[in-house]
Amino acid sequence: MKWCFSGSKKARRNLLRANFTFNQFLDLQFGKRLLASRAFLIFKKSLKKMKKISRPSLQEAEAAVKTLIAWIGDNPDREGLVETPKRVVNAYREFFAGYDVDPEKILGKTFEEVEGYDDIVLLRNMRMESHCEHHMVPFVGKAHIAYIPDKKIVGISKIARLLDVYAKRLQTQETMTAQIAETINKVLKPRGVAVLIDAKHQCMTTRGIHKINTSTVTKRMIGLFKTDLQMERKFLAMISLQEPC
């Protein structure tokens, strides 16, 4: 059988750069589907390394803010704005601190002494703050995260920290919802994971169409929460409970 690769020239260059030959790959099924293989996983890892971005210096970041201030029509050197570039960069360091944390390591410490507990563990009404990757403005709301343990649990504060790690990046709500669920599923290997986020996006409330009362709801169900309708309903009922007096 003749092996072939019908990808783009850029893809071919990437293959050569990673020291791969075409005969290490399975048939591409008309160039649209590549079956999983160890070689392909290594190739994806090499591409990820290629895409790593080096950060500009602190001085370059502050200069960029100064340029934006001038671009909107103000004087970056006047008294009220002269310290603004430094403040903005410091704020961005906090807003986007999630890029410096490995989310999987947060869930690394687990406990197996749970006295046979095998029902839902739910953290509900957790405030979350993130930034839209399209306009770099905030979206703010609540997250509800649940899992059904299989022999081991994790400290509940670690679930909250996991939420913050993904929220403190440029995001879409859909992507963040999936990332949280998939990370819990990968690391804890529970019987089920459920994530629901309800947030208001300032790209819709403070600009553009100005729909101030609109919130966006996203959810991701894995395992029993996806295959067992009763478990999904139980999760949704639990997050709908009234706040205690």
Q: How far apart are the first and last CA of the chain?
A: 71
135 is catalytic: yes
| Residue reference for tokens 């440029």 | 170
Bridge partners for 122 per DSSP: 146
**Residue 195 in tokens:** 């994530």
134 is catalytic: yes
Give the active site residue among 60, 104, 133, 174.
133
Give the active site residue among 131, 144, 171, 201.
201
**Residue 174 in tokens:** 């859909």
* CA–CA gap between residue 35 and residue 107 (Å, rounded): 30
Distances in Å between the Cα of 76 and the Cα atoms of 19, 61, 71, 136, 230 are 50, 14, 10, 21, 58
| Residue reference for tokens 């703050």 | 129
* CA–CA gap between residue 193 and residue 219 (Å, rounded): 10
Give the active site residue among 24, 135, 182, 202.
135
Give the active site residue among 131, 132, 144, 179.
132
Give the active site residue among 62, 131, 144, 173.
173
Side-chain-side CA neighbours of residue 121 (13 Å): 23
- What value does the CA radius of gyration of the chain take, rounded to a whole number of Å? 23
179 is catalytic: no
203 is catalytic: yes
CB 194 within 8 A of CB 121: no
How many CB atoms are closer than 10 A to CB 222?
20
Give the active site residue among 59, 60, 104, 134.
134
Going by C-alpha positions, the residue among 146, 195, 193 that lies closest to residue 166 is: 195
Give the active site residue among 24, 182, 202, 203.
203
Q: Which residues participate in catalysis according to the annotation?
A: 132-135, 173, 201, 203
